[in-house]
Amino acid sequence: MTELKNLKNEWKAIMSCMGCGDCGYSIRRAVGRYLTCPVKEAKGEEGFEIYFSRGRMNVLKSVLEGKLPLSRELAEFVYQCTECANCTEVCHETHNENIILNTSKWIDHYKVWDALRKDLVEAGFAPLDRHKDLVDYMNNDAMKNPYGEDFAKKYEWTSDFSNIKDKGDLVFFAGCTMPLRQQDTLKNMMNILIAAGMEMALSKEEWCCGSIGARIGEYKSVEKLMKHNIDIFKNMGAKTVFTGCAGCYRTLKKDYPEILGEELPFEVKHITEVLVDLLNNNQIPFKSEEGEKLKVTYHDPCHLGRHMDLYEIPRELIAKNSWC
């Protein structure tokens, strides 16, 4: 039997789960709840309970009680969870500011899944083969991104932005996904910031933030990335580091200090926080307010909303735009 040191830290959550199953099945129209676990929904008719929180909590009770060992088979099930944290949302939704189900104080499901993944890695049952490739890419000196792309490719987009500085108070952390998979979005975002007169710095030595590794539970390899990126930001003179990626934001702001056990010497912001400040200061020069207004649908990224509770600022940003 492995030590289960991370899982044991989450015993309150695991043993407080009563097994009501709302995380898998509950529809509660009065509060607009129609979807519970997206993995269970995606599994459709094949959705055995192991695919959503209650089933896994039952299994983890058995693990803590010493009746069931960690295993590769368990890992295969556990990594099907996206850690979207909707189970937590549903679990806590019963209460409001007037009626509080106290279990919401000790059940944060994704912390349990994170702990389990760490223990699975430490026990040698994870990463799974397909995840190991991602971790290897992330740590490969020629790549330093989980997409397995050449390191230099991550900076191709900067050729259109020669005025970005090497050093400064405000540092942009591009991450991996935007430069490698969402370049148009990234360039549009940069154009807005430049039009608003923002002066910002970017390092061409940044590595993956480590989100992929952290979510897999592969923390040892993540630490090296974190320390590298922090050193880079320090050397650039960063007072604020911002990113357009919800996953990077969660990792930089939450995982870095938690894993390294120290406060960061700079502030971390999401692009929406930067933009809303610019809007409040009338720094974004809109051309015209004429024409048909846009309808905007905003989807809260799981890592921004449920993991970081950043819900209002993106909405404020949309509300303050006169064209929508």
Q: Which chain residues interact with another protein by CB under 8 A? A: 8, 11-12, 15-16, 18-22, 24-31, 34, 45-50, 54-56, 58-59, 61-62, 64-68, 71, 73-74, 77, 94-103, 106
Our CB check for another protein shows the closer of 69 and 265 to be: 69
Q: How far, in Å, CA of 61 to CA of 48, rounded?
A: 18
Is residue 252 within 8 A of residue 304, CB to CB? The reply is: no
CB of 71 to another protein, least distance (A): 7
CB of 62 to another protein, least distance (A): 5
Our CB check for another protein shows the closer of 48 and 323 to be: 48
Is residue 246 within 8 A of residue 304, CB to CB? The reply is: yes
* Angle at CA of residue 313, ends 247 and 194, nearest 5°: 75
CB of 316 to another protein, least distance (A): 25
CB of 312 to another protein, least distance (A): 21
Helix (H) or strand (E) holding 268: strand 267-270
* Cα 3 to Cα 56, 78, 120, 216, 226, distances in angstroms: 19, 18, 10, 18, 26
Q: How far, in Å, CA of 323 to CA of 196, rounded?
A: 17
Is residue 37 within 8 A of residue 30, CB to CB? The reply is: no
Our CB check for another protein shows the closer of 29 and 287 to be: 29
Beta-strand relationship, 267-270 and 240-243: parallel
CB of 219 to another protein, least distance (A): 21
Our CB check for another protein shows the closer of 69 and 197 to be: 69
Our CB check for another protein shows the closer of 43 and 187 to be: 43
CB of 14 to another protein, least distance (A): 8
Query: What own/partner pairs with CB < 8 Å and gap ≥ 24 does 65-72 have?
Result: 66/1, 69/1, 69/2, 70/2, 70/4, 70/119, 70/120, 70/123, 70/125, 71/125, 72/125
Our CB check for another protein shows the closer of 47 and 168 to be: 47
Question: What is the identity of the amino acid at 92?
Answer: H
Our CB check for another protein shows the closer of 29 and 130 to be: 29
CB of 124 to another protein, least distance (A): 17
